Each structure stands twice: as structure tokens, then as C-alpha cells.
């Protein structure tokens, strides 16, 4: 399988696509075509384990670039935690993607990417650059921690991540360095792009990116759409996924799953006040905007990086987009009310991102008029454990929530970061002095 840049100027194989992250023409790598899975795979789906599904799906994208044994080993290491579809109410399930080491869904993609990069780099020294709005950085750090030859630089916006998220970014030490940028997530993302395309830095180091722009992040994120079906197919109703979206990597992976043959009825792209995509679907015009700060901060993205991939999947045609995806934007106030409502009515604690996704399902039901209230199973992707956003969740629900031991361990460690203004030259200088 060839991998082709969304800007069409570069064509390569999966190994190079993963090691480079971003194509030289500034585009994002996409498989030449989306592979199809055979009918017997779908018939057998309810009998497969998450790991078996992961292997079958990954194999389609990776082909002969890795042996079956090596790939199985990597998949088993990456997916060593549960992803249960938990019932909230009769027709709403929460696909809990947060049982990994940093307790956010980004563990799935970041751990797979880290293992694949380590495998393909064959021990040669490499610098990984990751811009994060909160959760990516820690998942990437956890995936790469102590991998020989790999140094990780995490750029995060000062004061715009939660205290616990900050601890999860800055307390690793060893081969993980946290760069605290006085700016927004968009500034961090722009800096990362500049670093990765800088000639001098590229002469001195082997650089790669670890954002949702890396194709190795997307491939494993498609696994759990299949896994949700394996768990919920027996209900014999159409399945709708509501995806709380920021950079749209999670949703793009869902589109991959559907194109591979998974009969997903509908996607909902649920966003907070950062509503570039809902606006695009409404007006047909894509206009990036500066990001706005919200309580679902991992989705505070004003120029979603995977939009380019979605565009290429839909051949640049808004009407094709509209067939697959409904998209709604919600305010912080609506998000809070939903957290309270779901807690009171169903005794389920949503984090702010999951609450945005819940709102998407409710809105679709209303749009389809309440007569059809039971016409589909709504699956919201619960992308973070509520304790990752403990300040917001406790303030909204007016009660203490339990902090899992995994997270408490980060809190006890000391923050280590280097501070920068959002100025490329200064950051570049720092990197040039690195070994």
C-alpha cells in the first residue's frame, strides 16, 4: 500500500510515512485507498477480542512492512487495557476509551505510534516533536518513555491545561522534555510545524511529529469502532457514534472504519465553542479561527489538522460530508447542565468532553423528532476519565470525585519544564543546542 500526501506532491510507504509524520509538501499522509475487510470478518466480529480486531485492521494498513508476530506483539502491548461500552440509558452507551495509562483516549493512538516508530527507526536516534492541548502530550510521553534513541519534546500552552494534565506532561524526566509555551494550542501547533520543516534543524537531527497528524495515530483509533460493534451488534439497531472533536483525528479514524465496511449508521461531530467544522457543514465555507478556551479544553482547536484528511476522503465535496456527518457545537453552559443531568438521572459521571458528545446524541434525536426516540443506539466516545478534569467536574457536580491511583501518582511528582514565548527563533535556538 502506498501512502500519499493530501497535497499530492509526495508518495511513500508506511514506514517513511510514520517516521516523517508530516509530508514535505506540508500535507498529511493518507493510504492510497481504504482497504476493505471481508464479509467473514464482519460475521465473526462478535467473537473477536479487541486485540484480534486490532491485528486484523492494522494488518490491512501495514501490509508486509512488519511481520505478523511483531505486529501481534505490538498490538497486545498497546491494547493492554479494557475499552468497555457502558450502558448509560436504554439507547445510549459510553465507549470508555480512558482506561489506559494516562486515562485519555489518546493512549490508544500514541502508544501504537510510539511502538511503530521505535520498530521502524531500528534504534537510530530521533527527536519527536509533539504539540498538545492537554492529553496528547502525556499519552505520547508515556508511549515513548525510556525508548532508547528517542528524545521527546512536548510543546504545551502555558496556563491552558488542567493542573493534573500539566503534571502528566512535565513529570517524566529522562528522554521526555516539556516546553511550556506562552501562547495558545494553535501557537504550539504552528511552532511544531515550523520546527519540523526547518532546514537547519532537519540537517542536525532526525525529526518527526507525534501529533494527530501522524498516520500511526489514526490507524489504531479505528479499532475501537469495530470493537463497539462487536459489543453492541446484538442489540440489532443502527449505531450512531458521537465523537467529541478537536483536531478530528478520532472522527477521521471512524470514517476509515466505515469505509472498511463497518456499517456505521451516522457520525456526529460534536464540538465545543470551537465550531469551525459545524459552521463549514452549515455554510460550505471552511474558515479557521483563533481557538477559544472552554471547559473541554482538549478540543479547543481553531484549525483542525485532520480536516485536510476528511476533505480528501470526501473528495472535497461538502454534500458527501453532510451525508456521513452531522455536526453541532455546544456552549460550556450546556455542557455543564448535561453533566449534572446525566449524573442525576443515570448516575453516570461524564467528563466535559464526553458531555459534549452526549449533547450531540440528544440533538440528533431531537432533529429526527422524538417519535424516533428509539430508532438508534447512540454511542458517545468518552475520551477522558472525569478525574482528569477534577476541578471542573467537582465544581459542576458539587461533589467530590474519586481520583484513580494511576492519576494520583502523577500529582505527587515534581513539575519540570522550560518556558518560552511563542517565538520560533527562540525555540529553535534551544533545540539547536540539544544533543
Ligand X SMILES: *Cc1c(COP(=O)(O)O)cnc(C)c1O
Locus of grid cell 477480542: 49
Compute how many residues bind ligand X; rule: CB under 6 A: 17
Which 249-308 residues touch ligand X, going by CB under 6 A? 249-250, 298-299
* C-alpha angle 147-138-246 in degrees, rounded to nearest 5: 130
Locus of grid cell 446484538: 234
Instruction: List all residues 6 or more positions away from 58 whose beta carbon is below 8 Å from its beta carbon.
Output: 71, 75, 112, 219, 220, 223
Instruction: List all residues 6 or more positions away from 174 whose beta carbon is below 8 Å from its beta carbon.
Output: 145, 146
Active site residues: 106
Q: Quick check: 384 binds ligand X (CB under 6 A)?
A: yes
Segment lying near ligand X (by CB under 6 A), choices 83-91, 245-253, 255-263, 426-434: 245-253
Q: Residue 212 CB, nearest distance to ligand X (Å)? A: 5
Beta strands in 158-257 (DSSP E): 176-182, 207-209, 239-244
Beta carbon nearer to ligand X, 167 or 353: 353
Helix (H, G, I), strand (E, B) or coil at 224: helix
Residues belonging to the chain: 435
Binding mask 55-84 for ligand X (x = CB under 6 A): ------------------------------
Q: Among 104, 113, 240, 407, which residue interacts with ligand X (rule: CB under 6 A)? A: 104
Segment lying near ligand X (by CB under 6 A), choices 194-202, 242-250, 342-350, 399-407: 242-250
Output b/e per residue, 409-435; b: 16+ Cβ within 10 A.
ebeeeeeebeebebebeebbeebeeee
Q: Among 212, 231, 329, 335, which residue interacts with ligand X (rule: CB under 6 A)? A: 212
Which 320-359 residues touch ligand X, going by CB under 6 A? 353
Q: Among 143, 220, 246, 378, which residue interacts with ligand X (rule: CB under 6 A)? A: 246
Q: Residue 364 CB, nearest distance to ligand X (Å)? A: 18
Q: Quick check: 245 binds ligand X (CB under 6 A)?
A: yes
Indicate the angle between helix axes 135-144 and 106-121, nearest 10 degrees: 40
Q: Residue 349 CB, nearest distance to ligand X (Å)? A: 14
**Which among 339, 111, 105, 122 is positioned nearest to 243, based on CA atoms?**
105
Locus of grid cell 453516570: 348
Beta carbon nearer to ligand X, 91 or 136: 136
Q: Among 15, 20, 56, 106, which residue interacts with ligand X (rule: CB under 6 A)? A: 106
Alpha carbon dihedral 317, 321, 324, 330, in 10-degree steps, equals -170
Binding mask 134-173 for ligand X (x = CB under 6 A): xx--------------------------------------
Using CB under 6 A, list all residues that contact ligand X.
Answer: 104, 106, 134-135, 212, 244-250, 298-299, 353, 383-384
Amino acid at each position: 500500500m502506498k501512502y500519499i500526501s493530501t497535497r499530492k506532491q509526495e508518495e511513500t510507504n508506511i514506514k517513511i510515512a510514520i517516521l516523517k509524520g508530516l509530508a514535505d509538501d506540508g500535507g498529511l499522509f493518507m493510504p492510497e485507498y481504504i482497504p476493505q475487510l471481508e464479509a467473514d470478518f464482519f460475521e465473526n466480529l462478535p467473537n473477536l477480542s479487541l486485540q484480534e480486531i486490532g491485528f486484523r485492521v492494522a494488518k490491512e494498513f501495514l501490509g508486509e512492512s512488519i511481520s505478523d508476530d511483531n505486529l501481534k506483539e505490538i498490538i497486545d502491548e498497546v491494547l493492554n487495557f479494557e475499552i468497555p461500552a457502558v450502558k448509560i440509558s436504554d439507547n445510549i452507551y459510553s465507549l470508555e476509551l480512558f482506561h489506559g495509562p494516562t486515562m485519555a483516549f489518546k493512549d490508544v493512538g500514541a502508544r501504537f505510534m510510539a511502538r511503530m516508530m521505535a520498530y521502524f527507526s531500528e534504534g537510530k536516534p530521533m527527536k519527536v516533536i509533539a504539540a498538545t492541548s492537554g492529553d496528547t502530550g502525556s499519552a505520547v510521553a508515556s508511549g515513548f518513555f525510556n525508548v532508547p534513541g528517542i528524545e521527546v519534546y512536548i510543546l504545551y500552552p502555558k496556563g491552558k491545561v488542567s493542573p493534573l494534565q500539566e503534571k502528566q506532561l512535565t513529570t517524566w524526566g529522562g528522554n521526555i522534555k516539556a516546553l511550556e509555551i506562552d501562547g495558545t494550542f494553535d501557537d504550539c501547533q504552528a511552532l511544531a510545524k515550523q520546527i519540523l520543516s526547518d532546514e537547519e534543524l532537519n540537517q542536525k537531527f532526525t525529526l518527526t511529529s507525534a501529533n494527530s497528524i501522524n498516520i500511526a495515530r489514526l490507524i489504531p483509533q479505528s479499532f475501537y469502532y469495530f470493537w463497539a460493534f462487536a459489543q453492541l451488534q446484538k442489540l440489532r439497531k443502527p449505531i450512531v457514534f458521537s465523537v467529541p472533536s478537536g483536531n478530528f483525528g478520532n472522527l477521521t479514524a471512524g470514517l476509515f472504519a466505515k469505509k472498511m465496511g463497518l456499517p456505521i449508521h451516522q457520525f456526529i461531530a460534536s464540538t465545543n465553542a470551537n465550531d469551525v467544522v459545524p459552521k463549514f457543514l452549515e455554510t460550505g465555507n471552511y474558515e479557521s479561527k483563533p481557538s477559544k478556551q472552554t471547559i473541554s479544553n482538549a478540543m479547543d482547536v481553531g484549525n483542525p489538522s485532520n480536516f485536510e484528511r476528511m476533505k480528501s476522503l470526501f473528495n472535497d465535496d461538502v454534500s458527501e460530508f453532510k451525508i456521513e456527518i452531522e455536526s453541532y457545537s455546544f456552549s460550556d453552559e450546556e455542557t455543564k447542565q448535561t453533566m449534572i443531568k446525566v449524573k442525576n438521572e443515570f448516575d453516570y459521571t461524564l467528563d466535559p468532553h464526553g458531555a459534549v458528545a452526549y449533547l450531540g446524541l440528544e440533538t440528533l434525536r431531537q432533529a429526527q423528532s422524538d417519535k424516533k426516540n428509539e430508532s438508534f443506539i447512540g454511542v458517545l466516545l468518552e475520551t477522558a476519565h472525569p478525574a482528569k478534569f477534577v476541578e471542573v467536574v467537582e465544581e459542576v457536580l458539587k461533589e467530590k470525585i474519586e481520583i484513580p491511583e494511576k492519576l494520583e501518582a502523577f500529582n505527587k511528582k515534581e513539575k519540570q519544564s522550560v518556558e518560552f514565548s511563542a517565538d520560533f527563533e527562540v525555540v529553535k535556538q534551544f533545540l539547536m543546542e540539544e544533543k
